[in-house]
Amino acid sequence: METMAARGGFTARLPVWRRLGFRLGASFLVLTALAVLLSGLLQYRAEAQSLRQSLGTLLLNIARTGAILVDGDAHEALVASGRSDSPQYAALRGRLLLIQESNQLADAVYTLTRPEGARSRFAVISNAVVPVGTEYPLVPVLQDALRRVFDEGVSAYTDVYTNHDGTWITAFAPVRNARGQVVAALDVDYRVDVYLARLAQVRRRLYLHALAGALLALVAGVVIARRVTRPVGQLARLAHQVVEGDLTARVRIASRDEIGLLGNVFHLMVERLQVSHRSLVDVLVRALEAREDAPGGLRRVARAASAVGERLQLTPAQAEALELGALLHDIGEIRVPESVLRKTGALTPDERRLVEGHPAAGVEILEAVPLLTPALDVIGSHHERYDGAGYPAGLRDDGIPLTARIFAVVDALEAMTHDRPYRRARPLAEALAVLREEAGKQFDPRVVEAALGIPPPRWAELLEGTASPESGIPRAP
């Protein structure tokens, strides 16, 4: 029979990406990696700013000191003459070369004239002779710094920039004449390859730290997620078993937090639900036994079915379903008139249809009660035959639910060994012989084997009220 879980679309196993443990672990991983990356980026920016300021300040001090050594009046006259072969050029170039060598600069130190838009002009270069007035193109960052030197008379250095010759940081200092006027700017350049190499090291450390943090977060996330989700998973599985009708299932939640409290409350709820469930079943059983005037008969057959089920190693849920189904297996007979049920003669075709309709009627009555769903397999299929000749659906072999196959054997044995309106009871030995003969026909051979494995004295105890050996042999059930 279709279970409530199947009809409700309940899925016991969620996809990995929807599981709480996966989400918690992924959250730890992502958040830690982001935190490490953010702190690393802040560290990287701070390091870059610190290196830029250090280099800029160093170059600025070199430029300021060097500018003092340059004769502003001589430089002004040199630019006015435009000659690079004069003694004044050689003298100024010597001063610039001294600045370069004293500070162990790899690149030339030179002077520039006032910028004109996006260009300026060379005056004197420390390590080469270039015609005075040679154009020097200025990238935007150089334009801003150079204008400050000439317009405001202050020293300035640039941020890192790139031109056609490479990547640089540049410092400018004003060169003044005797009247205090700015007549040139001393330019000190520094290639930032070492600077970039240090920043690359910072980046590598950042990536390594992020990776290490992510791995640590992964381990911590897995451990913490398991601690959090294990009891949640246990409760989810328990809830699934309860939904399937197994009210005997329990789990031990060791947590002493809200999840542990939830587990305790859930157990209490299930226990109370089980009490209510048992009370409901007891009311139905008493009503059915009173109708048939056979007190204790349903509990007797349920006890016998459980004994066979134990030998077949049923799961707790299957055992619960078998017992519940045995207690309520004939509930559909309430739709069959008493006169038909107690008729001693042969049934008419219409009466037989009424009787054979009671399994489907029982399913229809109980399927609206979720907690009684486990009983539906037995109620709906206990009159099916292993060879397919049974009713109401003509199921065969393993197509018949196992609990229904078990109960069919026990129900037949109980019926054969007790009086019925249409026949007298058979001796237990004959009833057991009928089971053996019908194995593979009416009954599942494996279930028959399990039933025959129970000693006759135990069967006599289970089927209390069994007919004595002297009883007559009526027709088969």
pLDDT per residue as tens digits for the range 13-25: 667 666 666 666 6
The tokens describing 77, both together, are: 């006259």
Q: In this model, does residue 453 exceed pLDDT 80?
A: yes
For 72-86, 254-268, 372-386, which range has the lowest pLDDT when averaged over its residues?
A: 254-268
pLDDT per residue as tens digits for the range 355-385: 888 899 889 988 888 778 888 999 999 999 9
Q: In this model, does residue 4 exceed pLDDT 50?
A: no
Could you give the CA distance from residue 306 to residue 304 in angstroms, rounded to a whole number? 5
Scan for tokens 């469930």, then name that residue. 277
pLDDT at 469 (0 to 100): 39
End-to-end CA, the chain: 25
Task: Answer yes or no: are the C-beta atoms of 81 and 221 closer than 8 Å.
Answer: no
Q: In this model, does residue 332 exceed pLDDT 70?
A: yes
Task: Answer yes or no: are the C-beta atoms of 212 and 220 closer than 8 Å.
Answer: no
Q: In this model, does residue 337 exceed pLDDT 80?
A: yes
Residue that wins the pLDDT comparison between 292 and 321: 321
The tokens describing 101, both together, are: 């060598």
- Please give the radius of gyration of the chain, using alpha carbons only, rounded to the nearest integer: 49
Q: In this model, does residue 304 exceed pLDDT 50?
A: yes
The tokens describing 320, both together, are: 């619960």
pLDDT at 467 (0 to 100): 40
Amino acid identity, position 168: W
pLDDT mean over 137-144: 92
pLDDT at 284 (0 to 100): 83
pLDDT at 336 (0 to 100): 82
**Cα–Cα nearest to 325, from 248, 406, 397:** 406
pLDDT at 7 (0 to 100): 37
**Alpha-carbon torsion 221, 227, 228, 233, what sign?**
positive
Residues of the chain with pLDDT > 90: what percent?
Answer: 42
Q: How confident is the model at residue 244 (pLDDT cuts 50, 70, 90)?
A: low
Amino acid identity, position 467: A
Task: Answer yes or no: are the C-beta atoms of 26 and 16 closer than 8 Å.
Answer: no
- Please give the CATH topology (third level) of the domain spanning 284-462: Hypothetical protein af1432 (1.10.3210)
For 415-452, letters b (16+ CB in 10 Å) and e give bbbbeeeebebbbbeebbebbeebbeebbbeebbebbb
Find the farthest-apart pair of alpha carbons in the chain and give their distance in angstroms, rounded. 149
Q: Rounded to the nearest 10 degrees, how much is the dihedral formed by the CA atoms of 365, 366, 369, 372? A: 170
**Cα–Cα nearest to 120, from 93, 88, 144:** 144
Q: In this model, does residue 325 exceed pLDDT 80?
A: yes
Q: In this model, does residue 466 exceed pLDDT 60?
A: no
The tokens describing 253, both together, are: 């939640």
Q: In this model, does residue 465 exceed pLDDT 70?
A: no
pLDDT at 294 (0 to 100): 67
User: Which CATH code of 3.40.109.10, 3.30.450.20, 3.40.50.300, 1.20.1290.10 fits the domain covering 26-198?
Assistant: 3.30.450.20
Q: In this model, does residue 197 exceed pLDDT 70?
A: yes
Could you give the CA distance from residue 327 to residue 290 in angstroms, rounded to a whole number? 13
Distance of CA 439 to the CA centre of its chain: 49
Q: In this model, does residue 472 exceed pLDDT 50?
A: no
DSSP output for 32-68? HHHHHHHHHHHHHHHHHHHHHHHHHHHHHHHHHHHHH
Residue that wins the pLDDT comparison between 238 and 378: 378
Q: 132: buried, middle or exposed (CB in 10 Å: 19+, 13-18, 0-12)?
A: buried
pLDDT per residue as tens digits for the range 32-71: 777 777 776 777 777 777 778 888 899 999 999 999 999 9
pLDDT at 1 (0 to 100): 40
Q: How confident is the model at residue 476 (pLDDT cuts 50, 70, 90)?
A: very low
Sorted by where each begins, the domain ranges of the chain are: 26-198, 284-462
pLDDT mean over 96-123: 92
Could you give the CA distance from residue 470 to residue 477 in angstroms, rounded to a whole number? 19
Residue that wins the pLDDT comparison between 2 and 191: 191
Could you give the CA distance from residue 86 to residue 76 in angstroms, rounded to a whole number? 13
* Residue 175, φ and ψ in degrees, nearest 5: -105, 120
**Cα–Cα nearest to 187, from 173, 169, 168:** 173
Could you give the CA distance from residue 376 to residue 384 in angstroms, rounded to a whole number? 13
Q: Rounded to the nearest 10 degrees, how much is the dihedral formed by the CA atoms of 45, 51, 56, 57? A: 120
pLDDT at 316 (0 to 100): 82
* Residue 343, φ and ψ in degrees, nearest 5: -70, 130
User: Which residues have C-beta within 8 Å of that of residue 431, sequence separation ≥ 6?
Assistant: 413, 416, 417
Q: How confident is the model at residue 456 (pLDDT cuts 50, 70, 90)?
A: very high
pLDDT mean over 119-147: 92
Q: In this model, does residue 114 exceed pLDDT 90?
A: yes
Residue that wins the pLDDT comparison between 334 and 51: 334
Which bin fits 254, alpha (ψ -120 to 50), beta or left (φ > 0)? Answer: alpha
pLDDT at 408 (0 to 100): 94
Could you give the CA distance from residue 421 to residue 411 in angstroms, rounded to a whole number? 16
Could you give the CA distance from residue 469 to residue 456 in angstroms, rounded to a whole number? 13
What is the chain's mean pLDDT, rounded?
82
pLDDT mean over 188-208: 80
pLDDT at 203 (0 to 100): 75
Residue that wins the pLDDT comparison between 294 and 156: 156
Residues of the chain with pLDDT > 70: what percent?
Answer: 86
